[in-house]
Amino acid sequence: MALKALRALRTPTARPAARPPRAADGDVLLEATGLTKSYAGADGELPVLAGIDLKVRAGEIVALLGKSGSGKSTLLRCLAGLIPASSGSVAYRGEPLTGANPGTAMVFQTFALLPWLTVRQNVELGLEARGVPADERARAAVRAIDLIGLDGFESAYPKELSGGMRQRVGFARALVVEPDVLMMDEPFSALDVLTAENLRGELMELWESGQFPTRAVVLVTHNIEEAVLMADRVVVLGSRPYGTIRETIEISLERPRDRNAPAFDELIDRVYRVMTGRPRESRLPGRPEAAEPDKRTVATSPLPAATVDGLSGLAETVAHRGGRCDLADLADDLGLDVDDLLPQVDALDLLGFAHVSGDDLVLTEEGAAFAGADVQTSKPLFARAALEVPLVKLITNSLRRRPDGTVRAGYFRDLLAHHFTSEQAERQLETATDWGRYAELFGYAAGPEEYRLDDADGSAP
């Protein structure tokens, strides 16, 4: 990363609003006190966070770590003032928030770029919203673009960029406003492993150089290694029955951190224990660690071409045979090849409804409950399982985060295009649409090619 560019970004810019004085290391920038948050659901208020007390100080990187659904993103959005707390308070530099937090800028998992704007125009957006005049905006955007390694791409459109480069635009857009606190919501999880590693490394290099244009970072992640690699403090959220802070773990390892150091491994073990309530099993040499449901991504867990009807049919057939059956025998009885059953088998596995053991397909407890349920009771069971499937979760969460509850299909197509052919991407979207509709999580309008949050009255097409 060019240090020249780094220095350039630190060059003071005239700003319409007076900037607060630079916070000294240790000054409290963000503070949540007794924070609770509930969402309105069909059955009343759904509590998501309770009794959260958290301080974020200048000079530190804080990771919010927890399993899916523990309320990490909700907490981040409350700290950024994007959604109001249900009770309790959030303060920035001691002042309670009444709207968007002026001291934060956000980087999203799904980049959230405007496709009709160039890289430079996307980066300028944050400044435009803060009323910075056009010529200054352009200068600051170019500096942020250089800083983050996007020079040469200023006039490219998002669709011309790889996933890694798009996320760099996301970072440049947040950093250009030089926020006190950079908020990152799983910024690396939509990227392939190597791209994520590279971008993480560059950001840490910037942070360690002491010239990062923000005073603190809050990172939402479900990746323990990422949290221990980057953070000074890991705040572990528990999710039963709703999000609370289970424990805060200080990470005082020197930077750059060595993943192979015994101290690093010990910290991973400790965080794992706090997060899961059980010790991490030692890995057999040469054997990769089994992917935990929380580590699955859109790239690692593609949706098989199985409709809800097809996978339900298979689950019911296995249930009739006592919850376990030999796949080859089953295919024979149905007059099919084993290959014909594989999409449904993969789908049941992805949903946590069954697993393959030797030659047998074995229903899990959830799978048996799903197979035995009538249509109405099977829907919530299916919705719960489908929300753990990365693509369905991505669509649902993206819709929930949009004020109008709609997202164009092209947005997801573009994200999938980083990992799959357009035909594979299209097939996966068809499957996700079928699953999401059945689960009543979202609908899809074919005309405008638009996903919509399910509006519960069935009018979503």
Ligand X SMILES: Nc1ncnc2c1ncn2[C@@H]1O[C@H](COP(=O)(O)OP(=O)(O)OP(=O)(O)O)[C@@H](O)[C@H]1O
Coil, strand or helix at 304: coil
Region near ligand X per CB under 6 A, out of 143-151, 270-278, 313-321, 392-400: 392-400
Contact mark string toward ligand X, 17..46, x via CB under 6 A: ----------------------x------x
- Residue of the chain from 6, 9, 56, 72 that contacts ligand X (CB under 6 A): 72
CB 77 to ligand X: min, Å: 8
Of 222, 233, 296, 419, the residue at the interface with ligand X (CB under 6 A) is 222
The DSSP-derived string for 238-292 is: E-SSSBEEEEEEE----SS--TTSHHHHHHHHHHHHHHHSSPPPPPPTT-PPPPP
- Which of 244, 397 has the CB closer to ligand X? 397
Find, among 399, 397, 461, 386, the residue nearest to 431 by Cα.
Answer: 386
Q: How far is the CB of 220 from ligand X (least distance, A)?
A: 6
3-state helix, strand, coil in the chain (%, to 5): 40, 20, 40
Beta strands 28-41 and 44-57, pairing class: antiparallel
In this complex, which beta carbon is closest to ligand X, that of residue 66 or of residue 149?
66
Q: Which amino acid is at 226?
A: E
Using rule CB under 6 A, residue 246 touches ligand X: no
Q: Which is nearer to ligand X, 247 or 326 (CB)?
A: 247
Report if residue 276 touches ligand X, rule: CB under 6 A: no
Tell which positions 80-99 bind ligand X, by CB under 6 A. none
Dihedral of alpha carbons 300, 304, 307, 309, sign: negative
The region of 64-72, 90-98, 324-332, 345-353 touching ligand X under the rule CB under 6 A is 64-72
Is residue 74 a contact residue for ligand X (CB under 6 A)?
A: yes
Task: Mark the segment that binds ligand X (CB under 6 A) among 51-59, 63-71, 343-351, 423-431.
Answer: 63-71
Distance CA 387, CA 289 (A): 23
Angle at 227 between CA 221 and CA 229, to 5 degrees: 140
Count of residues interacting with ligand X (CB under 6 A):
15
Contact 456, 440 (CB under 8 A): yes
Alpha carbon 452 to chain centroid, angstroms:
19
- Interface residue with ligand X among 9, 30, 63, 66 (CB under 6 A) is 66
What's the Cα-to-Cα distance from 48 to each of 85, 241, 244, rounded to whole Å? Answer: 11, 8, 9
| CA 347 distance to own-chain centroid | 22
What single-letter DSSP state applies at residue 447? T
Tokens in use for 181?
């606190």
Residue among 68 and 276 whose Cβ is closer to ligand X? 68
Q: Does 304 bind ligand X (CB under 6 A)?
A: no
Determine, following the binding rule CB under 6 A, whether residue 400 of this chain makes contact with ligand X: yes
Q: 120 vs 222, which CB is nearer to ligand X?
A: 222
For 324, left (φ over 0), alpha (ψ -120 to 50), or beta?
beta
Nearest to 245 by CA among 460, 392, 55, 85: 55
Q: How far apart are CA 33 and CA 89, in angstroms?
A: 5
Vertex 65, ends 63 and 67: CA angle to 5°? Answer: 165
Question: Per CB under 6 A, does 70 bind ligand X?
Answer: yes
Residue 5 identity: A
Least CB distance from residue 370 to ligand X, whole Å? 19
Site for ligand X in 99-158 (CB under 6 A): none
Q: Which of 23, 48, 381, 394 binds ligand X (CB under 6 A)?
A: 48
Of 363 and 441, CB closest to ligand X: 441
The CA distances from residue 60 to 76, 374, 459, in Å, are: 16, 51, 47
User: Partners of 360 in the beta sheet?
Assistant: 326, 357
Q: Which of 9, 36, 73, 297 binds ligand X (CB under 6 A)?
A: 73
> Is residue 390 a contact point for ligand X (CB under 6 A)?
no
Please tell me whether residue 296 binds ligand X under the rule CB under 6 A: no
436 binds ligand X (CB under 6 A): no
Q: Which is nearer to ligand X, 123 or 217 (CB)?
A: 217
Residue 238 near ligand X by CB under 6 A: no
**Pairing assessment for the beta strands 87-92 and 95-96 based on DSSP bridges:** antiparallel
Q: Which CB sits closer to ligand X, 68 or 118?
A: 68
CB of 374 or CB of 457, closer to ligand X: 457
- Nearer to ligand X by Cβ, of 121 and 189: the residue is 189
**24 DSSP 8-state letter:** P
- Residue 393 CB, nearest distance to ligand X (Å)? 6
Provide the binding-site residues for ligand X, judged by CB under 6 A. Answer: 39, 46, 48, 66, 68-74, 222, 393, 397, 400
